Amino acid sequence: MRVHLGSDHAGLELKEHLLTWLRDNGHEPVDHGPFVYDPVDDYPVFCIRAAEGVAGDPGSIGIVIGGSGNGEQMAANKVKGVRAALVWNADIAVLAREHNDANVISVGGRMHSVDDMTHFVDLFIRTPFSGDERHARRIAMVADYESTQKPPPLPESAQGLGPDA
């Protein structure tokens, strides 16, 4: 599987580890940077490029890495067609794929051990989307909003309630 990677200075060491791990496990990593340590680099420069790589390469996945993974996930999610999940444990790695068909995993290089984060990435890569109708329906709603900027219609049970009333 082709895997697009991007990070910032806080994720550089983990990114370098994952490039090797991915190759050793039969994957094709694509490194979108950074390529040298720069303590003042900006994660959007590299994470958006990695996310664009995923969006333009059907069947691929992405990994974005920073200190916490929060900003990196937010940047990746600005790319149309990307569903980036901030992963902090094994259950979230699996659920992000099974329920949300996430195509980018975001991890915090300062949050867990290299072994733990490698395990999260491995689970993410190996877990397929469940294809359950309810999950596919929800993903379609988000994709539709992404294209139209119109929120999904309220369910009948909510008609006349809340701020849309």
* pLDDT (0 to 100) of residue 17: 97
Three-state SS letters, 43-66: HHHHHHHHHHHHHCCCCCEEEEEE
pLDDT band at 165 (very low <50, low <70, confident <90, very high): low
* Averaged pLDDT, 122-147: 97
Q: Is the pLDDT of residue 158 over 90?
A: no
Residues catalogued as catalytic = 72, 99
CA distance 145 to 8: 30
Q: Is the pLDDT of residue 163 over 80?
A: no
* Angle 137-102-52 from CA coordinates, rounded to 5°: 115
**Tens digits of per-residue pLDDT, 6-51?**
999 999 999 999 999 999 999 999 999 999 999 999 999 999 999 9
**Tens digits of per-residue pLDDT, 77-117?**
999 999 999 999 999 999 999 999 999 999 999 999 999 99
SS3 164: coil
**Tens digits of per-residue pLDDT, 51-85?**
999 999 999 999 999 999 999 999 999 999 999 99
Q: Is the pLDDT of residue 164 over 70?
A: no
- What is the homologous superfamily of the domain 2-154 according to CATH? Sugar-phosphate isomerase, RpiB/LacA/LacB (3.40.1400.10)
| Alpha helices in the chain, H assignment, sequence order | 12-24, 43-55, 70-76, 90-98, 114-126, 133-148
